[in-house]
Structure 1
C-alpha cells in the first residue's frame, strides 16, 4: 500500500509519501499563491508522486471544512474561502485511490495519539499554534470529528477581554489574538519593524519590549482558551505544536500563568500542557494515519 499525505495550511501546501504508516521522510512544500491555488497544489502532488501508484490519500486542511461534501474553506486562502471541492479535485488526479479528508487539527490529534505525546492517553487535546491556531480532540481513545468535521477548532474559542476582529467574522477569537500572524500584526501596529512570527520570537529572546509584549499577550490568550477547553473536555494532556509555539518562555510562561488563573476546578488543575515531540510534518503524519486506516477499514473519520 502506497499512501500520499497532503497538508493544506494557511500559507503553505505540504505533501509527502508516507512510509510504514507513520513516517513522512521527505516533505515537499510550496507557498499558497494569491490566485490559481489549485494549480499550485496539483503541481505539488504530481511532483511528489511522480510515477508511483498511489493506493490511499489522506488530506488534512486548515478549516473550516465539511468532510461530508469534501469541501475545504480555509479562512486564510481567499480564493477558497467560499469553498473548494478538494476531495473531488484530488480524486480526479488519482481516480483509483481511497481518499480520506479531515480538518488539520484532527490529523494532528491522530499523529500525537499514534506516535506523539498522546500515545496511550485516552483523553487529550492537540493544538497547533502557527500562522493560525487549530486543534483536535481525543476522547475515550478516539478522534472526535463532530457534525461537519470541525470539532476541536479551538482557534475560535472566544477569550475574555480581547475585542479583536477575526477573519471568521467574529470578535475575540483566540486565533485573532494569539496566532503568529495576529501577533505580528499587533506588534507592527505598536511600531515593531519585523515581518514574521519567527522574527518576533527571536526579537523577544533578545529582550525587545514590543516583541515580549506581543508574546505575553498571545500566551495569556492561549492560557485562557486552554482553560475553557479543559473545563469542557476533561482531558489529561494538552500537547502544543506549530512554529509559533516554539517561542519558548516569553510565550509559555504567560500561557501557564493564565491557565493557572482560570483553570480552578480540581479536574482542570490536573491538566498538563506540554510541547509536541513531533518535529516535522505532524499534520502529514496524521493524514497518513487517516489514509492508511481508511484503506484498511480501521479508521473512518466521517461524522
Structure 2
C-alpha cells in the first residue's frame, strides 16, 4: 500500500464509513492532462500566479489504483473543453474511460455551441451520471442561450452538474454568483454542484443553495492550508455550512493538488462540525445522490 493511503483509510474507518465518494477528481486524455499540468507548472494566469506543485503526477492506471487504495468507492473524470468543438470528443473518451473503470461515475461535459443539446442527449443516453462545466476555463456565460435547452435536459434527467463558477483562484469574465443565478432562475430543479464551495464567493453560493433545494456544494480545496492563505472561508458562515450538511459533497481535485489527499480530509475534520456532518459529506450525500449501494438517503430540507 502506498505511503499516505493508511492515513486516508484511518480517517473513514474512524467514522464508521464503507469508504469515500469523491465527486471532483480529474481523469482526461493524457495529452490534455499533461497540458493542464504544464499550465500549473508555469503558474498560468488562472492559477492566480500561485506556486502549484502537482502531488499525484502519475500514469492514469496508477492514479486510479491510488484512489482505490485510499478507499474511494466512486470518483469522477472531471474533464472540460477550453474552446468549442472539443466537448463531444472528450465525452467519447470519458465514456470509454468509464467502461474500463467501473468505480468511475461516467462523466461528460458541454460548451455553448451549436449542437450542444444533441451531444448532451447522446451522453445522457450513453449512461452519463454527472457532467462537468468550467466557466472560468471555458470563458463562457453559463446563462448563454445556446446552453438553455441542454440545462433543461439535464434538469429533467436529474443528472448532477459539477460547475466551477466561483471566481477562484482567479476571476473570469463570467464567474461569480450572478450568471449561474440566472441559469437557476430558469431551471430551478437543476442539480448543480458548485465546485470549491464557490470560492471566494462562499457566502453568495451558500445563499443559492439555501434558496434552491437541488443546489449542492463540493469541498474541493476549501479549508486547506493552501487555500486558507489566500481565499479563507469566513468563520461566520460555518453555521450555514453546518445547516446545509445534507448538500455538501467531498471533492478533492485529485491529482492536481499541491498537498496530500489526507490533508483535505483533515481540513474538513478540524472544522469541528461533528461526525454526522463528516459522514454525510464524505460519503452518504454523494452515495444517495448517485444511488450507490449502501447510500443512506440524507434528510433533505
If the length of structure 1 is used for normalisation, what is the TM-score? 0.26
If the length of structure 2 is used for normalisation, what is the TM-score? 0.26
More relative contact order, 1 or 2 (CA 8 Å, 6+ apart): 1
Structure ranking higher in strand proportion: 1
Structure ranking higher in helix proportion: 2
